[in-house]
Amino acid sequence: SQQGEEDPQALSIQEGENATMNCSYKTSINNLQWYRQNSGRGLVHLILIRSNEREKHSGRLRVTLDTSKKSSSLLITASRAADTASYFCATNLEKTSYDKVIFGPGTSLSVIP
């Protein structure tokens, strides 16, 4: 089973709505990152949150981390058609190499114009 698993697997919303994706993991982490992958393109780093942080913002993105529940959420506010992509969480495990991360299977987001 995956260290990090995103939920839902797929999400479809109307442009302008907010999108929320969740990531649950099994073992303690140093940090957690979110990445985006547009269709046919490479992955792009969105945001990193460390284990001692609870919330971070970047533009229309808000990430929260609850280490007691071993979960993180990514909120995209006022979604746009260009936000259509797959979103992956990547966890850096506490007792492993500082740089090594494990990616989850991703959430596929469709934003309908």
Give me the residues that bind other proteins (CB under 8 A), please.
Answer: 2, 31, 33, 35, 41-45, 48, 88, 90, 92, 97-106
| Cβ-based nearer residue to other proteins, 44 or 81 | 44
| Cβ-based nearer residue to other proteins, 19 or 93 | 93
| Cβ-based nearer residue to other proteins, 13 or 43 | 43
Q: Which residues contact 68 (CB under 8 A, 6 or more apart)?
A: none
Q: How far is the CB of 105 from other proteins (least distance, A)?
A: 4
Q: How far is the CB of 10 from other proteins (least distance, A)?
A: 10
β-strand 10-14 against 4-7: which pairing, if any? unpaired
Map residue 68 onto helix, strand or coil.
coil
Q: How far is the CB of 48 from other proteins (least distance, A)?
A: 6
Cα separation, 33 vs 91, whole angstroms: 6
C-beta separation of 57 from 48 below 8 A: no
